Amino acid sequence: MSYVESNETSQHPDPLHGRKLNVGIISPYSFETPGGVQFHIRDFAEELMKRGHKVSVLAPGRRTRDMPLWVTTNDSSFSIPYNGSVARLSYFGFVGPRTRRWVKQGHFDIVHLHEPETPSLSHKPLTMHHHPPFVGTFHAAFDPYPLALRIFQGYLRKYLSPLSAGICVSDAAKKVVDHYAPRNIEYNVIPNGINCKFFANAEPKSAWLGTKEEPTIGFLGRMGESRKGFAIFARAANDIIKQYPSARFLCAGTGEQDAMKILSKIDSSGTLAKRFEFLGRISDKDKARFYKSLDVYVAPQTGGESFGIVLVEAMAASCAVVSSDLDAFAAVAQGGGDAALFTNGDGHDCARQVLSLLDDPQRRERLQQSGFERSKQYDWPVVADRVLEVYARVLS
């Protein structure tokens, strides 16, 4: 299915009435390692620049060869466990003065702070007495609500008061923000964006394509992180091969050794492991081809997800999706209308949903079509319009 412009993806009237902005964006996380927030910032910045706006980004860590010239780094970062993953932040020493100097020297019309509640770069400008308007985007979702945030609720409510507006990437993220954010700020739920055309027009890879007897089922994520749900995917695969013994399970991402340990615990004979193919970390281009080549994509994440970006990407590639019923995923799937949902953490239920789609090609095709239409609501032109509307209100 190819991408076709629709009324949903046509741009709204320009909320800035032709005004071109100088926008500063601060990332809390290093661009040296890939992550959802970094991709969000990169893609949003590129969308703004397509429209003629000037964009500069400040991030922790060191420069890499493939880093855009409009990204500045502060050559300082440290790793810390965060929300079931590992984040590379920057907070100590001269980080504060350098960040505030970057804001001052940038002469920005607006500064967009991502995760300003996180102890990193985007936290630092909030102490400035004279500054451009600040807009904060909150990405994180937690279940249960962390003790650390409970302790610092009062501090954060006061510290975040310089924000002129807040953006939450999902209702799940807003539930967290409601605990500690200032009450006098307007909060808008605006999702993450994707380049729908990029995924829709990708070409499948022949080596990854399946057949009726040998379907391909995909997983993408860090297999060494329990919250990404590889163990659930593996348990589901053990059920699926009983009905489709030639099924192939394609796994993109890091953590192959961790994955093999999980597979050996589930099936010590090695039969299950033989059905798995590990692709390693793949490029953006191959990620689009990956989704396009699958019969079913499975998102078995167990928690810590504020938005279902992987679901939207797969939907844009017209791939049928089976996902855990996390609040953020269920919202993207519209309660199961655009993706088949299974009980979080239940590998057997995951297998039942996958098998139901493999056994019913017509239902799978309906899900592909509805998911594809749903993905258009997350196209960057649509999402960027909504963010610029927030900018316009702040600047007015």
Q: Is the residue at 169 inside a domain?
A: yes
CATH code for the domain of 244: 3.40.50.2000
One domain for residues 215 and 148: no
Confidence band (pLDDT; 50, 70, 90) for 12? Answer: low
Is the CB of residue 291 less than 8 Å from the CB of residue 279?
A: no
Write down the number of H helices and E strands in the chain. 14, 15
Domain containing 26 equals 21-193+379-395
One domain for residues 155 and 201: no
What's the pLDDT score for residue 6? 46
Q: Is the residue at 11 inside a domain?
A: no
What's the pLDDT score for residue 82? 67
Say whether pLDDT at 235 is over 90.
Answer: yes
Is the CB of residue 255 less than 8 Å from the CB of residue 219?
A: no
What's the pLDDT score for residue 96? 95
Q: Is the residue at 345 inside a domain?
A: yes
What's the pLDDT score for residue 88? 85
Q: Is the residue at 331 inside a domain?
A: yes
Q: Is the residue at 55 inside a domain?
A: yes
Query: Could you please report the per-residue DSSP string of 80-107?
Result: EEETTEEEEE--STTHHHHHHHHHHHHT
Confidence band (pLDDT; 50, 70, 90) for 33? Answer: confident
Structure tokens at 321: 């999706």
Higher local confidence (pLDDT), 106 or 8? 106
One domain for residues 212 and 179: no
> Mean pLDDT, to the nearest integer, of 288-315?
96
Q: Is the residue at 7 inside a domain?
A: no
**Mean pLDDT for all residues in the chain:** 93
Is the CB of residue 194 less than 8 Å from the CB of residue 375?
A: yes
One domain for residues 179 and 205: no
Q: Is the residue at 14 inside a domain?
A: no
What's the pLDDT score for residue 83? 62
What's the pLDDT score for residue 78? 83
Q: Is the residue at 1 inside a domain?
A: no
One domain for residues 167 and 231: no
What's the pLDDT score for residue 2? 60
Structure tokens at 187: 């909060």
Residues comprising the chain, all counted: 396
Q: What is the pTM of this model?
A: 0.88
pLDDT in tens, 55-91: 999 999 999 988 999 999 999 888 887 666 778 899 8
DSSP H or E stretch at residue 324: strand 321-324
- Identify the three-state secondary structure at position 54: strand
Q: DSSP assignment, residue 167?
A: E
Is the CB of residue 27 less than 8 Å from the CB of residue 41?
A: yes
One domain for residues 361 and 386: no
Q: What percent of the chain has pLDDT over 90?
A: 85
First to last CA, the chain: 42
One domain for residues 296 and 176: no
Peptide bond preceding 144: is omega within 30 degrees of 0, i.e. cis? yes
One domain for residues 31 and 175: yes
**Number of structural domains found in the chain:** 2
Say whether pLDDT at 378 is over 60.
Answer: yes
Across 200-222, b (16+ Cβ under 10 Å) vs e yields bebebeeebebeeeebbbbbbbb
One domain for residues 147 and 259: no
List the 187-189 sheet strands across, edge first.
71-73, 54-59, 22-26, 110-114, 134-138, 163-168, 187-189
> Mean pLDDT, to the nearest integer, of 281-305?
96
- The strand pairing partners of 113, in sequence order, are 26, 136
CA separation for the pair 65, 45 (Å, rounded): 19
Higher local confidence (pLDDT), 247 or 92? 247
> Mean pLDDT, to the nearest integer, of 226-251?
97
What's the pLDDT score for residue 14? 86
Say whether pLDDT at 9 is over 70.
Answer: no
What's the pLDDT score for residue 45? 98
The letter for the amino acid at 306 is S
One domain for residues 182 and 98: yes
One domain for residues 156 and 257: no
Say whether pLDDT at 286 is over 60.
Answer: yes
One domain for residues 181 and 322: no
> Mean pLDDT, to the nearest integer, of 256-265?
97
Higher local confidence (pLDDT), 332 or 143? 332
Closest among 202, 205, 170, 167 to 188, alpha carbons compared: 167
HSE-CB of 389 using CA atoms within 13 angstroms: 15
What's the pLDDT score for residue 35? 85
